[in-house]
Structures are given as C-alpha cells and as structure tokens.
Amino acid sequence: MFGQVLFSGLALGSIYGLVALGFTVIFKATDVFNFAQGMFVVLGAYLAVTAISLLGLPFPLAILFLVIASALVGAVIHILLIQPLSGRPMLSVIMLTIALSIVLRSVIELTYGPQGRTLSTPLPMGVLVVGDVRMSYLHLWAALVSWLCMAIFGAFFRFTSVGLLMRATADGHEAAVVSGVNVNAMNRVAWGIGTTLAAIGGLFLGQLQIASPELETIGLLALPAVVIGGMQSIPGAIIGGLLVGVIEQMASAYISPKSSDIVIYLLLLVILMVRPWGLFGQRELGRV
C-alpha cells in the first residue's frame, strides 16, 4: 500500500513539478504570479487532442505541434497582455492572469464543447509489477518525460547563451538592459517556455484522466508547489511539485479523497507563516 501510494505520488508529483517549473520560469523572468498556469495545462491537453484525434498527426509530429503551438501562445500572451501591464500594481497583474484563464476556458469550451474528451496516445498502457507495487507504464512515462524536460531546460539555462541572458535578465532588469540584452525578447522566451512546460504536463494529465477544463484545478496545484519550494528557486519548484504529489496521494489514501486539497493548503498556510520564502527560496529583505 505505502509503496504504491508513494509511487503514484512521485509520478504525479513529477508532472506537478514540471508545471511548477514553467510557473517559476515565468515568475522569475517577469514577476508575474500566473494564475493562468492551470489553464495552460488544459490548453496542452486540448492541443494534444487537436493534433492526435482531430488532425490525425503521427505522434512525434503531434508532440512538435504541441510544443510549437503552446510556445507561440505563451509568447503572444506576453506581447499582448503582459508587456502593456509591466510596472502595474500586483493585483492588476494577478487579475489579468485570472481573466486570461477565464477567456482561455471559455474559448476552449466554445471550440470543443464543455464535455471532456478522451486523449489517447501510442504510449504503452500496461502495468509493471515490482514487488507488490503496480506501476502503470503511463505513470512511468509521465515521470520520465517530466524529468527529461526538467533536465533539458536545466541544461538550457546553464549552458546556452540565451539561457545565460535569461538568467541575467531575471537577476536584474536594469543591469540587463544596460548591457544590451533585449529584455522583452528574453521575457517572451520565458513565457513560451513556461507555457510549453505546462502544456506537456497537460498532455500527460489529459491522458491519465480525460482532457477537460477541470484539469485546471490539478494544474493550479503548481501554486502551492512553488510557494512550498520557494518562489524564486528552480529546484524548489521541482521538489515542491514532488512533495505536493506525494502529500496529495498520501492524504487521499490514508485520510479521505476529499481531504487531499485541504492538507496541501494547510501545509501552504504553515509554510507561509513559518518560512514564507519557502524551503529553497532566498529570504526577501524589505526595502523602503
């Protein structure tokens, strides 16, 4: 029982970590606390439905379509909505992302109908039994791909010149501008990456359940994940995601299925009161 719960918690947690990583990339670059991240997950699931079921693309092409389309959506959102609002008070920006998720949801529901759609991919469906733990291949794949994506983006930030410029931009806007970095272009890339990571999470969540706008709630678990991990920290986002996944599965297995959200949010509340900068974040200092 325990091993089983731990496994599914870690597998789901990997997806949450991926979504949370996308969230952190956006937050670090543009200081936008993105409440639309959950809707980006839904968007990913429906883009996958579009590519696989409606367009009938072969699976590798479908993945390419998913990545390009979601990156474009992210970049366009940055140009149209985020850039005009730079320097505005926090509530305006938060509300903008909430309104964005309302718009995205209604567009998705108007296009595809309010009912969910099944999403089937050629990924293997069987179950791997190790000891008394039954691991579905789908969960294993989801976890593997999530870790692969995290590794790829980690390497991207660490070793490429664009990654370096993006880190520089995130560290200090003014300094980056003075050094001749095109800050807006960097931020656009960050939004593209953030959206894509959420969309890949949506691909798996859509398949583990069904592709429906209700996935937003699951995608929004990235919020407690990033706060628990520490908002400015990339490893924090991943570990926060894993933690949230494990806690969710433990709570629904040992307490009651309804209680999983509340346990996560109670932990969030405790973290906020005791260590607001999160487990891996850096303590913010107040300035006058």
Least CB distance from residue 233 to other proteins, whole Å?
Answer: 15
Least CB distance from residue 37 to other proteins, whole Å?
Answer: 14
Least CB distance from residue 90 to other proteins, whole Å?
Answer: 6
DSSP for 223-236, please give it.
HHHHHHH-TT-HHH
* Rg of the chain on CA atoms, in Å: 19
Nearer CB in complex with other proteins: 104/143: 104
Nearer CB in complex with other proteins: 140/272: 272
Closest by alpha carbon to 47, among 55, 35, 37? 55
Nearer CB in complex with other proteins: 206/213: 213
Q: Using CA atoms, how far apart are residues 196 and 165, in angstroms rounded to an integer?
A: 20
Binding positions for other proteins, rule: CB under 8 A: 33, 81, 84-85, 88, 90-92, 94-96, 98-100, 102-103, 105-107, 109-110, 114, 223-224, 227, 231, 258-259, 261-262, 265-266, 268-269, 272-273, 276, 286, 288
Least CB distance from residue 235 to other proteins, whole Å?
Answer: 20
Closest by alpha carbon to 281, among 42, 11, 85, 20? 20
Residue 107 near residue 199 (C-beta atoms within 8 A): no
Nearer CB in complex with other proteins: 143/264: 264
Closest by alpha carbon to 244, among 3, 14, 2, 4? 14
